[in-house]
Chains A and B, each alone.
Chain A
């Protein structure tokens, strides 16, 4: 489209927007911005039940949430619900990334509404979220983070996207594919940015969240992707005719796990999980800790590991975060927590991490050393790239 064409298009869109705004003004925003969170219990205070957490001694300083910024990458079935929960909790700022549009095929999931079909997910989400809580600052980016044109900008927003112009406090990966997870991993290892990975299996009946602290816990590239056993025999799983299934339940549960641990991490209460899996068919929730792989493929992961090793460790009088065959105090019905967790953090090796929690496995194994296919290799050549490109065109 020409510049003139684009200008005309912009003008047309501005007019449409003005009409829409005037319609919206009639159903005026539910409330004005609130400068300070109050713990007053009145029915007009949206924060009273959250501030009660402070009164009850669960969270020391709940208002701090207003200063915090979180990036949500992927605003689909998990990311949109995650963003809504954080918005309702009164997070200071959200930075949303997604390149997709809302489709009617998304309506089996939560958050988006049929009338939003055709809008970009980030724009539709921002609109709804601002309506729910106008106190939250929302920044949106409608692009694919894995491409070279967008990746540097994505890194820059992670690094400078907080309310104070510094790095965001946490990145939440709510994407649905390996490529995007690896891109987030690359960015966060380089920037030394703590992030949560989350995922729901393509069969919709298992999911997980994983905390990644560069250098300190296993990064996403340290091992092949981890999968929670769904107790379905893979051979009987029919993939003919479809790519992926999804359920609002599994996605909502994973989003709930993700935001719960985000709140614990950001507001420093309870214990933040390092890995929490979910198998829907068996109501099974494996947890574990994963150490980084000293032979990780990501050079920045290795650099972060060195930095972490050199750092003096704070002396922790730590209550082991691991629940070991604890018989519950009121064990009247003979319920006991099954040991789903190895006592020691798992060491990840290039092939298969040893001692993965029972019920968690790698999606596939990798050969320990240099191997894979063998055969003829491309010859060294003096032919220039341009010549090769021309040659390819001519065939």
Chain B
């Protein structure tokens, strides 16, 4: 099951209303506004809780998203590029979040660095169409993935700490 902290995080992200994908020109703009509202709220929640862990932005059409996520381990910050496309069947299907620089470094990924989600993700997403959006996918998908995989990858020496100017 989804753990309590994820559940609590999820409950603080506003739900979305508009059921529209990128093929529906006008409604998609409305949906995109809701996506941004929910994301802004979620990032603000994270900052308040001293658990700020990602930034995202999109192209003008809101069909391609990119940004950074990071994970603090033993007081060191490990940062990764995040990217994903909004599938034409969104929001019936969730976006497939990818960390391209980790592609090939862990078995918990599909080709192209798409993260391998838990068995709970898809049923939960399906039950919450169209209320869940990108913010929920981050909280329910990428957040728990980083928490499990990054410490493991660091321990195995697969990823090393890199000095970053913006830390």
Interface residues of B in 10-47 (CB under 8 A from A): 10-12, 14-17, 22-23, 29, 32-34, 36-41, 43-44, 47
Contact (Cβ within 8 A) B40 A239: no
Is there a chain B Cβ closer than 8 Å to A3's Cβ? no
Q: How far is the CA of A241 from the CA of B148 in the complex (A)?
A: 10
Is there a chain B Cβ closer than 8 Å to A375's Cβ? yes
Contact (Cβ within 8 A) A179 B93: yes
Contacts of B58 in A (CB 8 A): 389
Contacts of A320 in B (CB 8 A): none
Minimum distance in angstroms from A394 CB to a CB of chain B: 10
Partner of B57, one of A149, A151, A384, A389: A389
Q: How far is the CA of A177 from the CA of B87 in the complex (A)?
A: 12
Contact (Cβ within 8 A) A392 B92: no
Contact (Cβ within 8 A) A389 B122: no
Most buried by B among A178, A363, A366: A178
Q: How far is the CA of A148 from the CA of B116 in the complex (A)?
A: 23
Contacts of A242 in B (CB 8 A): 107-108
Contact (Cβ within 8 A) B131 A373: yes
Q: How many Cβ-Cβ contacts under 8 Å join chain A to chain B?
A: 134
Residue of A nearest to B61 (CB): A148
Q: How far is the CA of A103 from the CA of B103 in the complex (A)?
A: 13
Contact (Cβ within 8 A) B122 A363: yes
1/0 contact trace for B58-73 toward A, CB 8 Å?
1001110000000000
Q: How far is the CA of A3 from the CA of B108 in the complex (A)?
A: 38
Residue of A nearest to B34 (CB): A378
Contact (Cβ within 8 A) A366 B127: yes
Contact (Cβ within 8 A) A186 B37: no
Partner of A186, one of B56, B89, B94: B89
Contacts of B34 in A (CB 8 A): 378
Is there a chain A Cβ closer than 8 Å to B109's Cβ? yes
Q: How far is the CA of A177 from the CA of B132 in the complex (A)?
A: 20
Q: Report, as a range, how many residues of chain A touch the other chain.
A: 35 or more
Contacts of B40 in A (CB 8 A): 388, 391-392, 395
Contact (Cβ within 8 A) B87 A364: no
Q: How far is the CA of A368 from the CA of B71 in the complex (A)?
A: 39
Contact (Cβ within 8 A) B87 A376: no
Contacts of A224 in B (CB 8 A): 123, 126
Contact (Cβ within 8 A) A148 B92: no
Q: Which residues of A contact B (CB under 8 A)?
A: 100, 103, 144, 146-149, 151, 177-179, 182-183, 185-186, 221, 224, 234, 239, 241-244, 297, 363-367, 371-379, 381, 383-385, 388-389, 391-393, 395
Pull 5 A–B residue pairs with CB atoms less than 8 Å apart, ordered by A.
A179-B94, A241-B107, A243-B116, A375-B15, A377-B17
Q: Which residues of B contact A (CB under 8 A)?
A: 10-12, 14-17, 22-23, 29, 32-34, 36-41, 43-44, 47, 55-58, 61-63, 85-89, 92-94, 96, 107-111, 116, 118-119, 122-123, 126-129, 131-132
A-B pairs, top 3 by smallest CB distance, nearest first, are A364-B123, A243-B116, A388-B36
19 extra A-B contacts, CB within 8 A, seeds A100-B111, A373-B131 = A147-B87, A148-B61, A148-B85, A178-B93, A186-B89, A239-B118, A239-B119, A243-B109, A363-B122, A365-B123, A373-B15, A373-B132, A378-B15, A378-B17, A378-B34, A378-B38, A381-B37, A385-B36, A389-B36
